[in-house]
Chains A and B, each alone.
Chain A
Amino acid sequence: MSDVHQESGGDNFDLSQFYQIFFEEAGENLDLMEQMLLNMDLVTANDEDLNGIFRCAHSVKGGAATFGFSDVAELTHQMESLLDKLRRHELDPNSAMVDVLLESADISRVLLARHQTSDTSDPPSTVDLVRRISELAAGGGVTVASAPAAPASVPSAPVVEPVPVVAAPAPPAPVAPTAVAAEPPPAAASGQRVLEVRMGPLDRPELADGIKDLFRDISGLGEISELPSQQADYRLFKVVTTSSNDDLLDLFVFHVSREQVHIQPMGGAPTASPAAPAQMIAPVAATPAASAPPAVAAAAAPPKPAAPATFGFFDGAPGAPGSEGAPKEASSPVTKAAARPAAASTSSVQPEAATIRVAISKVDQLINLVGELVITQAMLAQYSQTLDPTQNQQLLAGLADLSRNTRDLQESVMSIRMIPMSIVFNRFPRMLRDLASKLGKKVDFVTLGEATELDKGLVEKITDPLTHLVRNSCDHGIEMPADRLSKGKTETGTITLSAAHQGGSIVIEVRDDGRGLSRDKIMNKARERGIDVYDQMTDAEVWQLIFAPGFSTAEVVTDVSGRGVGMDVVKKNIAALNGSVEIESSEGFGMKVSVRLPLTLAIMDGMSVGVGDEVYILPLSAVVESFQVKGDALSTVGQGSQLVKVRDEYMPVIELEKVFQVPRYNRDQDSDIMVVIEAEGSRVVLLVDELLGQQQVVVKNLEANYRKVPNVSGATILGDGKVALILDTSALVRRSRH
């Protein structure tokens, strides 16, 4: 960013190379702002939150103005001025403001997307929004004017308010030093420091003057005055502020690059006496550093205790009579706890060192290389087994070290691709808020375990199914407030989204305390549709029925019609990721959908099976059981298709030997091991020669250099360096249907 500002004056400097960075940053800032707005408690809104939201709007505005996206800059500028009043406590936040700010964030995103794609169509109009924001901002201005206790304050300077009412309290800028000395806000005084800021060497020193505008625009930042500089290409400022050096540097990069700024305390120790800042205040000063308590204090507030573990779904069923309010109590600490680190991170000290942006292709390349290393290591380990331990002691010790280091390296590298579930979870509060208000329902949204990490590729693919599940819970699960009350539940329903690691997989649960699934209705519906059901079916089996294609939960359980993808698509999408879905439900008390996924797509738990001289890999997630059979256990239908009876159920048999035309050298040998696999809701039996073992395999793409092979989903490299094909269980199941 700094470079942009420095050189933007150049005649033919191309800003466009920085566009992408700006779009990414602006997107992140808008997301963060939205999240903080939603988490903000209107009554107890603290300065830290408000400042955080303000900073987000400010960053977007700054960037947009730099790159000449005037519509975005204008809108965010309006947001900024409203937020500025909020954080100076001239206005009390209310939900109308939150609404309008959320809406503005949406419009900003649309506008940014237009710039990003160079869309030339008509932009969405911002006139109405701008008017509403300024009305809200102005409304507050009046209250402040009538409140004598409020500190003399200044509307943020460059706001060009189109509405006449705006005029606000309006005492002119320079506040008499004595006034400040007389009533110094205690919080401000304690953290206030007097700094000497030296900037240079600068090619265009006048750029540095822009930072004076910063102090004018951002109230609460402090005072700045220019000192005479000895060198022509240096600028010297005196700054009185409560902000940390890093915060200042972050602001200054809008004008000069970080390396060119040197901050040191002026005249030694921070000023503790209330009189001192008054003396320091220069005539240029615009606003007293009034309402900004040290951000540190707020950030250091003790984190709220983690949510009580309300995992056990039916012990103390949420919303059940008797445990009313419990979910509510649980919800607020959780969301708060989530909000806190997010807010703290914006004000924390080193935002730059925390992350770096790396192209995903580089990470993938790294993962590939490590994968090769693992294979090489496995080969060495295999060959070393034949060595004489007494003669090759050192070599073997080295190999053992290599093995450990390789494993560690692989773990670390895989973790690079891992991103926290919060990326997915963060989109839901907003969606639920909108949906619930549209449906007239009251819903609390609780998230647990958003720090749980998942492969980036999976995160992208799990978002849509999860969205559907959460939407379902809100739409069909949670009852209308009146219904809930009449059933003795709390008026507000709770939807809980949680993620946790369990062994080698991640389990994501969507839970609600709504009406739950009705066994009878599902059974009736299934009979209507001609699905074979019987009364002795277990609940779990009945719930699985809702995954049947075209079996809308809406028609079954509620009068509200279903929309978008059905549960069958959810199940299919999750199965495509080698995952599984389970449902638990109790009528009247809610339901829980558990999605179990592997941690990564790049590595899979596989079962290797031998057919003839060849080895194939079965995804372990698809394997149900395996057993040995006698040849006469097979029955045939129409002289062709073979069936085998497994516990009273006939299943089609697929002979891998025939599917893959495996040559037989040893005529005596015969396939007699059966592996039951399940995919797309059906089970088939694969006939193989032997089970070789179970191992983690690195999934390789076969299509990169070759082509799609029927019944094969990919390939992997075995410990001995040979390639083995991974079976496509869905394709095999489909094959058996024809």
Chain B
Amino acid sequence: MTGTAPDDTVHSLADNTPSLASVADKEERQRIIRRRIERVGRWLMPAVMLVISIWLWDRIVVWNEIPHYILPGPGRVLSTLIADWPILLSALKVTLQITILALGIAVIGGVGLAILFTQSRLVEMSLFPYAVILQVTPVISIAPLIFIYVDSKLVGLLICAWIVAFFPVLSNTTLGLNSTDHNLRDLFRVYGATRLQKLLYLQIPTALPYFLGGLRIAGGLALIGAVVAEYVAGTGGIGSGLAFTILEAGYRLNIPRMFAALLLIAGTGVVIFTSLSLLSYLLLHKWHESALKREA
């Protein structure tokens, strides 16, 4: 292997589409055109769908003269969103705060416990079944009990959101930590690696894609947990979140505000998912299959 430059091909990662005119082959040209259509269509089609459905919604309300306390038109929802923004914003802040805090604690708890599990089979054997039980019991049935024993509404909400968010992190990270390549494990042993070195250099990098997959699920679940718990808690007055805003607006037949709050919750979910996907891409795009574009 001395001095011989390897002539094996290096797979390029760049997506270098040649200009259409320079491609002679007919099939190849059609393939490029198809790919371009797909690239534009991925954004254009959902946007078109959105415009059409909002327009239909508006027309149905106008044509049937539906009163706004039964079904408000999209324009009215938008104007409510703007008019009620101070109320909605403070509610959004509360919901967001609980969701993010719960997700944070779920990550710390889930990853910590997963690491503990891989270090000690005994701990795993004694705790894992209870983690499963906690997960399979619907949070809405535990929530009323939690609010009896926990004085602080915030802490209660946090516990509920944490319960649903923590399991995907735990189970995915555990799976990842145990998925190391057996030859690499042997290699680490041959070179006399300590447990800590094996954990840091081998198990944690192996587990990273699994963990990030769990995190994306947990992000959505934390929001659901926070909202569900708030319905149960029925918090009134200052410091209540979007779910309570919906409940309260429902009592007052303020349907436009219900829609506006719903829009915010859905938007929050999308933002959480997108940012976690972005985080996943940033951490994995250099090496992991899931984040790499395959050449056709």
The yes or no verdict on A and B being binding partners is no
Which residues on B are within 8 Å of A, measured CB to CB? none
State the A residues within 8 Å of B (CB): none
